[in-house]
């Protein structure tokens, strides 16, 4: 009897080992990133603290290799590591978006070097740890994995925000980020533990039946609501958006740029996977037993989207610091993207694909805007919007490129922001959320004011000084122009939306 059990165990163990071996084939991008992370930290610790430029090359090279491996991943969807991670076109797309964002962030850091200061080896090590967490976020299908990935990304982000230790606002920003972040993760974790109690499993796939079976259960609603609240923190969506302006202002600009795109992208990836497995098409949600109150997830997400974009846009109107203003604008954009999540499954998952496309567009647009902020503050030594007066003549190239990025943030043709917003609005309208599309339209109109105010300062107002600033350095030129090109190209190449057309989820 004992021998039989033992034999069975050996067989199961052998299967487990070969499963791990198979899984590794789909896990190379993360492995390469992990090795690069260790190499950067060791190099910095053992070999040199002075040759910090080498760690930048190492981080850049490792990320580039990881990105190349992402494109070479096998295309058929499958599950890795006994259902912990999914390898599907959806996770591959989001990993690529996050890694492109990382490449740009490494370059932005070099551009912003004098502001970020010494200890660049530590900086890149922690940055890559955050990226690793975000890549795992994009592919987790188990709630243990979701929690660990979110925490890896969060803890690294807290540290990297405080990288300028001598800066008063830097450590205050990190403190606010860390303390509210730990509450957000505790909320999410409590939601996960309640869901575990209801399904007896921590797999996200297991939620599908539960969503239908427990549709009327208030406890189920609370559990899912808690998980969504935890994710909302990373997406910068209402009601967990309050940390954004302080952290965006206090962090080094390159870190702000990184958080505004990569962290948001990874959180939306989890949200999409989570909501898709709840199957919103079957109208699950909180229903009271007497049928009086019916709150489906679509309406909850739609209300969150409307409130998020309105709050972000109204607060952005009154900002004087450009990083703070872009922070509020990032909250508003989380609202627009949530519109697509609310209309997730409409007409063959059009909402889902619109969200993916918008995140790609937002990546280039927002990184570009922050790149210009760095280029300008290197010369002007200020991040106040007032300092942009007369920039149109004094720094013509960055001013022109900033115009393109701001147009894309507004959603004006001929920029990709227009295409992205068009897809999101169309998904909401197809879903029948007319009121939400109208709210989105009004909000876009409001946002024109504060984006255009910068243009007004740059082109219509004169500063006392007229002499042009010296041209930005080569890296600055290459980066800003290189980010502006996709913003324009993604509009003109209508087929670009085809990239997100074939995305599918494992499950």
Partner 1 sequence: MDVLDRPEGFLMVAAVLFVIGVVGFILRRNLIVLFMCVELMLNAVNLTLMAVARYVGASMEGQIMVFLVMAVAAAETAVGLAVVIAIYRKRATVDVDDMTVMNG
Q: Provide the minimum distance between the beta carbon of 182 and partner 1 in the complex, in angstroms, as a whole number.
A: 5
Q: Going by C-beta distance under 8 Å and a sequence separation of 6 or more, which residues neighbour residue 49?
A: 118, 119, 121
Q: Provide the minimum distance between the beta carbon of 39 and partner 1 in the complex, in angstroms, as a whole number.
A: 22
For residues 340 and 321, the answer to whether their CB atoms sit within 8 Å is no
Phi, then psi, of 64 in degrees rounded to 5:
-65, -45
Q: How far apart are CA 340 and CA 443, in angstroms?
A: 16
Site pattern 322..361 for partner 1 (x: CB under 8 A): --x-------------------------------------
* Residue 387, burial from CB neighbour count under 10 angstroms (0-12, 13-18, 19+): middle
**Residue number, 164 or 389, with CB nearest to partner 1:** 164
Other beta carbons within 10 Å of 463? 15
Q: How far apart are CA 357 and CA 351, in angstroms?
A: 10
Phi, then psi, of 433 in degrees rounded to 5:
-90, 65
- The reply on whether position 151 binds partner 1 by CB under 8 A is yes
Q: Which stretch binds partner 1 (CB under 8 A): 243-251, 279-287, 418-426, 429-437?
A: 243-251
For residues 316 and 249, the answer to whether their CB atoms sit within 8 Å is no
Count of positions on this chain that bind partner 1 (CB under 8 A)? 40
**In terms of Cα–Cα distance, which of 469, 499, 473 is closest to 486?**
499
Site pattern 169..208 for partner 1 (x: CB under 8 A): x-xxxxxx-xx--xx-xxx-xx-xxx-xx--xxx------
Q: Is 205 helix (H, G, I), strand (E, B) or coil?
A: coil
**Residue number, 385 or 395, with CB nearest to partner 1:** 385
**Residue number, 53 or 213, with CB nearest to partner 1:** 213
Q: Provide the minimum distance between the beta carbon of 246 and partner 1 in the complex, in angstroms, as a whole number.
A: 5
For Cα atoms 264, 78, 338, give the angle at the middle one, nearest 5 degrees. 25
What residues from 20 to 39 belong to the interface with partner 1 (CB under 8 A)?
none
Q: Provide the minimum distance between the beta carbon of 151 and partner 1 in the complex, in angstroms, as a whole number.
A: 5
**Residue number, 157 or 310, with CB nearest to partner 1:** 157
DSSP 506: -
**Residue number, 169 or 317, with CB nearest to partner 1:** 169
Among 159, 266, 271, 437, the residue binding partner 1 under the rule CB under 8 A is 159
What sections of 200-243 are H helices per DSSP? Answer: 207-213, 218-235
Q: Which stretch binds partner 1 (CB under 8 A): 239-247, 344-352, 374-382, 402-410?
A: 239-247
How large is the angle between the packed helices 52-71 and 28-42, nearest 10 degrees?
170
**Residue number, 201 or 216, with CB nearest to partner 1:** 201
Q: Provide the minimum distance between the beta carbon of 189 and partner 1 in the complex, in angstroms, as a whole number.
A: 5
Among 242, 396, 422, 499, the residue binding partner 1 under the rule CB under 8 A is 242
- The reply on whether position 494 binds partner 1 by CB under 8 A is no
Q: Is 283 left (phi over 0), alpha (psi -120 to 50) or beta?
A: left
What residues from 44 to 73 belong to the interface with partner 1 (CB under 8 A)?
none
Lookup result for tokens 């610790």? 45
**Residue number, 44 or 246, with CB nearest to partner 1:** 246
Other beta carbons within 10 Å of 23? 17
Site pattern 245..264 for partner 1 (x: CB under 8 A): xx--xx--------------
Q: Which residues pair with 85 in a beta bridge?
A: 80, 140
- The reply on whether position 373 binds partner 1 by CB under 8 A is no
Q: Is 26 helix (H, G, I), strand (E, B) or coil?
A: coil
Q: Provide the minimum distance between the beta carbon of 184 and partner 1 in the complex, in angstroms, as a whole number.
A: 10
Phi, then psi, of 383 in degrees rounded to 5:
-115, 15
For residues 434 and 366, the answer to whether their CB atoms sit within 8 Å is no
- The reply on whether position 168 binds partner 1 by CB under 8 A is yes
**Residue number, 301 or 373, with CB nearest to partner 1:** 373
Task: Give the interface with partner 1 as residue ranges (CB under 8 A).
Answer: 144, 147-148, 151, 155, 158-159, 162, 165, 168-169, 171-176, 178-179, 182-183, 185-187, 189-190, 192-194, 196-197, 200-202, 242, 245-246, 249-250, 324
């Amino acid at each position: 009897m004992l021998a039989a059990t033992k034999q069975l165990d050996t067989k199961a163990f052998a299967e487990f080992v070969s499963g791990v071996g198979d899984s590794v084939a789909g896990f190379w991008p993360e492995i390469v990133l992990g090795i690069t992370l260790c190499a950067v930290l060791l190099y910095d610790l053992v070999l040199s603290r002075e040759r910090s430029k080498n760690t930048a090359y190492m981080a850049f090279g490792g990320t580039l290799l990881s990105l190349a491996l992402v494109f070479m991943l096998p295309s058929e969807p499958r599950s890795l590591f006994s259902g912990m991670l999914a390898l599907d076109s959806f996770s591959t797309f989001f990993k690529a978006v996050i890694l492109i964002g990382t490449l740009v962030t490494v370059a932005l850091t070099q551009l912003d070097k004098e502001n970020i200061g010494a200890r660049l080896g530590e900086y890149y090590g922690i940055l890559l740890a955050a990226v690793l967490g975000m890549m795992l976020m994009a592919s987790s299908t188990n709630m243990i994995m979701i929690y660990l990935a979110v925490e890896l990304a969060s803890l690294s982000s807290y540290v990297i925000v405080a990288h300028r230790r001598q800066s008063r606002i830097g450590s205050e920003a990190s403190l606010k980020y860390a303390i509210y972040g730990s509450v957000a993760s505790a909320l999410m974790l409590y939601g996960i533990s309640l869901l575990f109690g209801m399904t007896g499993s921590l797999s996200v796939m297991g939620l599908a039946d539960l969503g239908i079976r427990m549709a009327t259960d208030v406890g189920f609603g609370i559990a899912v609501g808690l998980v969504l609240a935890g994710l909302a923190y990373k997406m910068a969506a209402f009601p967990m958006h309050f940390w954004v302006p302080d952290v965006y202002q206090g962090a080094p600009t390159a870190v702000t740029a990184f958080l505004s795109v990569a962290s948001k992208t990874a959180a939306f990836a989890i949200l999409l996977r989570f909501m898709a497995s709840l199957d919103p098409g079957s109208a699950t949600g909180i229903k009271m037993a007497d049928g009086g109150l019916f709150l489906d997830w679509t309406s909850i997400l739609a209300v969150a989207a409307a409130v998020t974009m309105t709050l972000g846009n109204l607060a952005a109107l009154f900002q004087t610091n450009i990083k703070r203003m872009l922070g509020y604008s990032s909250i508003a954009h989380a609202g627009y993207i949530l519109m697509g999540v609310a209309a997730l499954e409409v007409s063959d998952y059009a909402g889902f694909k619109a969200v993916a496309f918008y995140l790609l567009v937002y990546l280039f647009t927002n990184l570009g805007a922050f790149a210009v902020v760095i280029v300008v503050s290197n010369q002007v030594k200020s991040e106040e919007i007032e300092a942009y007066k007369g920039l149109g003549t004094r720094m013509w190239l960055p001013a022109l490129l900033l115009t393109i990025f701001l147009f894309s943030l507004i959603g004006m043709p001929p920029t990709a922001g227009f295409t992205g917003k068009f897809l999101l609005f169309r998904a909401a309208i197809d879903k029948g959320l007319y009121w939400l599309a109208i709210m989105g339209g009004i909000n876009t109109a409001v946002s024109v004011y504060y984006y255009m105010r910068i243009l007004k300062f740059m082109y219509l107002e004169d500063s006392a000084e007229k002499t042009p600033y010296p041209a930005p350095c080569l890296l600055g030129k290459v980066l800003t122009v290189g980010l502006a090109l996709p913003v324009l190209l993604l509009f003109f190449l209508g087929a670009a939306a085809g990239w997100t057309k074939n995305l599918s989820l494992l499950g």
